[in-house]
Amino acid sequence: MRILRHEALPLEVAERFAALSTTWKAQQPFRLEGYDSMHAAMQGYAAFHAALSQREDAPILTFVPNQYGLGNRLRALKSSLLLAMLMGRVFRVRWVSPYPLETLARPEAFDWREPLVGARHSGGKRSAPTVLCLPFGASNSRSGCSKHLDHLSKDDVREVYLDPELEIESFTDIFIYLSKNRHYKALLERLGRDCPNRMGCLLPYVLGPQRVVAERLAALFPGEMAATKHVGVQVRNRLWRIEAQQLKGLKTSDAAGILACMAKWVPPEEYVPVFFTSDDDDFYPAARKLWGSRLREQSGEVYGPWSRGGAQSAEKLDEDDENAVIKAFVDWFALQQSSVIIYTYGSSFAKTAAEGSEAPNIDVNHTRCRAEDAGVMAHAVPMNRVTYDTSKVPGTMDYVRPSDVTRLTS
C-alpha cells in the first residue's frame, strides 16, 4: 500500500498566498539589495512570488536536485532560492525522486510547486530552459558546468542569464560561491547579520512538514510534550570511522564511547527529552541505555541510497523505501525544531537542520571530544551560528564548552 500522496494546500494557506499576490506592484521587479534584513526580504519575495507565479512571462528559476542525500539536497535547495532572489526570479522546485517533495514537505511562505504538466503555458511555447550545472557529482556527465561555477563566483548573474526560464542542477551549497562574488559579497554579509548560518534561515520559509511527516512528529512529542523543548542528537557514524582512521590512541570508536562524548553537550536535566537519530542501528541500544525514558526516536530503516549518496531507480521503490524516506524527513524536522542540536561534524544532514534553526548547536567529532577531555578549549564561540571546525588539532580553534550549552538552555 502506498503511503505518500499529493496533498492539497490547506485552505488557510492557499488564501494567504492569494492575499499576498495583491500586495505586490505588478510591474515592480524584486531586488534583494533593497532590503535591510533577510527576513524582511523573504516577506517581500513571498508577495512577489505570489503575484508573478501565475504569469506566463514570469522569469523562472527551477531547482532540480541531482542525486545524493537529503542534507545535500536541502542545502542546494536553500541556496538555489537565494540565487532566485538575487536574480529576481520566481522559484520553483522539481523534486520527483525518489518521491515528490510536496508529498513530504509543504510550501510555507510561498508556493514553490511546479504547475501541473500541460498547465504551465496555455499560450505561446517557451524555448527549452537553460540548465545551470556545477562540475560536481552527477553533473559530471554534462559539459560546460565549469563556466556556470565561474559565473556564480564572479559575475552579475542578472546580466549573464537572460533566458526567461532557467533550471539549476546541484547538490552543493551555492552560497559558498555567491558569498565570494564581488557583486554580492557586501550584500550577503549585510543580510547575514540576521541570517548568519549560510542563509539557512530561508529553509523554514520554504518547507514545513507535510501531513504524513507532521503526524509522526506529533507521535514523537505528543500533548504537553510538544511544548517542551527537546535536545536533538545525530550520529553519522561513517564520518566518525573516517576520522578514527586518522587518529592514534583513540578509545571512543564504539557506539557507547561516541555517545558518551556527545552526551557531554546534552543538558543533564531529566525532564528534557532527547531526540536521537543515526545512520547506524548499533547506536540505538546505546542511546536507550544512556538516556532511558528521556529518549525519543523514530523507528525504521535508513534510506540506503541517500545514506550512500547514490541514485535509486523509481521502478525498484517499495513500501520500505517509502517509510525510510519519511523517516529521513521526520528526523530532519525533529532536529531542526530542537532547542539544542548536537551533531556529527561534517554531516550535511544535521548541518542543514542546524542552519535552518536559531537554536544553539555544536558539531562534534573525536578531535573535539579529546580536546574537551584535555581541557584545552580556549573559550566558547557565539552560540547563534553553526561552527565549521576545519582543524584536526585540539585547541587551535574556538570551541563550545558543555557548560555553555547547559547554561544557554536552562
What is the DSSP annotation of 86-102?
HHT-EEEE---SSS-GG
pLDDT score, position 224: 53
pLDDT tens sequence across 138-180 = 766 678 899 999 999 999 999 999 999 999 998 889 999 999 9
Confidence (pLDDT) at 154: 97
pLDDT band for position 126 (50/70/90)?
Answer: low
Residue 316, all three cell numbers: 525498484
CA 290, CA 264: separation in Å to the nearest integer?
A: 12
For residues 326-355, average pLDDT = 94
Shared domain check, 199 and 243: no
CA distance 218 to 30: 37
Kindly report, residue by residue over 32-80, the tens digit of the pLDDT.
999 999 999 999 999 999 999 888 889 999 999 977 889 999 999 999 9
pLDDT grade for 291, boundaries at 50, 70 and 90: very high
**In terms of residue numbers, what domain contains 139?**
11-117+125-208
- pLDDT number for residue 128: 83
List, for residues 187-198, the tens digit of each pLDDT value. 999 999 999 889
| 301 and 235 belong to one structural domain | yes
Cα separation, 112 vs 118, in Å, equals 17
Q: Same domain, yes or no, for 284 and 193?
A: no
d(CA 171, CA 158): 22
Mean pLDDT over the full length of the chain:
85
Rounded to 5 degrees, φ, ψ at 69 are: -80, 180
Q: Average pLDDT for residues 106-111, to the nearest whole number?
A: 96
85/208 Cα distance (integer angstroms):
20
Mean pLDDT of 75-88: 97
Residue 218 inside a domain? The answer is no
Statement to judge: residues 174 and 278 lie in one domain: no
Looking at the structure, tell me whether residues 36 and 153 fall in a common domain.
yes
Q: For residue 163, count other CB atoms closer than 10 A to its CB.
A: 12
**Shared domain check, 276 and 152:** no
Last residue of a domain, one of 183, 208, 233: 208
The three three-digit cell numbers of residue 300, written as one number: 525504521
Q: Between 348 and 373, where is the model more confident?
A: 348
- State mean pLDDT over 281-299: 95
The verdict on whether omega for the bond into residue 98 sits within 30 degrees of 0, i.e. cis, is yes
State the cell numbers at 294: 528521556
Instruction: Return phi, psi of residue 105, to 5°.
Output: -140, 140
Q: Residue 95 pLDDT more than 80?
A: yes
Residues 158 and 245 placed together within one structural domain of the fold:
no
Q: Is 213 within the bounds of a domain?
A: no
- Do the Cβ atoms of 138 and 32 come closer than 8 Å? no
Specify the residue for cell string 538552555: 409
Tell me: do 34 and 158 sit in the same domain.
Answer: yes
Q: Reply yes or no on whether the pLDDT at 396 is more than 60.
A: no
113 and 150 fall within a common domain = yes
4 within domain boundaries: no
| DSSP letter for each residue of 131-188 | EEE-SSGGGGGSSSHHHHHHHHHHS-HHHH--SSEEEEEESS-THHHHTTSTTTHHHH
The order of strands in the sheet holding 130-133 is 90-93, 60-65, 165-170, 130-133
86 confidence band (pLDDT: 50, 70, 90):
very high
**215 domain-assigned:** no
3-class SS at 333? helix
Task: Give the 3-state secondary structure of residue 276.
Answer: strand
Q: Report the pLDDT value the prediction gives residue 294, as an integer from 0 to 100.
A: 93
Q: Are residues 186 and 104 in the same domain?
A: yes
Of 180, 208, 236, which residue constitutes the final position of a domain?
208
**pLDDT tens sequence across 250-271:** 665 789 999 998 998 898 888 8
Q: At CA 372, angle to CA 369 and CA 373, rounded to 5? A: 85
Tell me the per-residue pLDDT of 209-231, one tens digit each, with 9 for 90 and over: 999 999 999 999 886 555 668 99
Rank 18-27, 265-274, 332-341 by mean pLDDT and report only the highest. Answer: 332-341
The C-alpha atoms of residue 140 and residue 132 are separated, in whole angstroms, by: 12
Q: Which three cell numbers stand for residue 273?
A: 527529552
Shared domain check, 353 and 258: yes
- Position 83 pLDDT exceeds 70: yes
Inform me whether the pLDDT recorded for 119 exceeds 50: no
Q: Domain tally for the chain?
A: 2
Residue 138: inside a domain, yes or no? yes
Give the pLDDT of residue 374.
Answer: 62
Tell me 226's DSSP state: G
Q: What percent of the chain has pLDDT over 70?
A: 82
- Spatial separation of the C-alpha atoms in residues 3 and 322, rounded to whole Å: 7
> In this structure, is residue 219 part of a structural domain?
no
Residues 6+ apart with CB under 8 A from 103: 4, 5, 6, 7, 210, 212
> Are residues 112 and 258 both part of a single domain?
no
Residue 241 lies in a domain: yes
Higher-confidence residue of 171 and 277: namely 277
Provide the pLDDT confidence category of residue 3 given band limits of 50, 70 and 90.
confident
Place of cell 563556466: 147
Last residue in a domain, options 150, 182, 208: 208
Strands lying side by side in the sheet with 340-344? 295-296, 274-278, 231-235, 340-344, 361-364
CATH of the domain at 372: 3.40.50.11350
Question: pLDDT at residue 399 above 50?
Answer: no
Higher pLDDT, 244 or 278: 278
The helix (run of H) or strand (run of E) holding residue 361 is strand 361-364
Confidence band for 117, pLDDT divided at 50, 70 and 90: low
In the predicted model, is pLDDT for residue 282 greater than 70?
A: yes
Residue 81 CA to residue 60 CA, distance in Å, equals 11
Q: Is residue 367 domain-resident?
A: yes
Residue 140 CA to residue 134 CA, distance in Å, equals 8
pLDDT score of 2 more than 90: no
Q: How far apart are CA 252 and CA 260, in angstroms?
A: 8
Output the nine-digit C-alpha cell for 404.
555553555
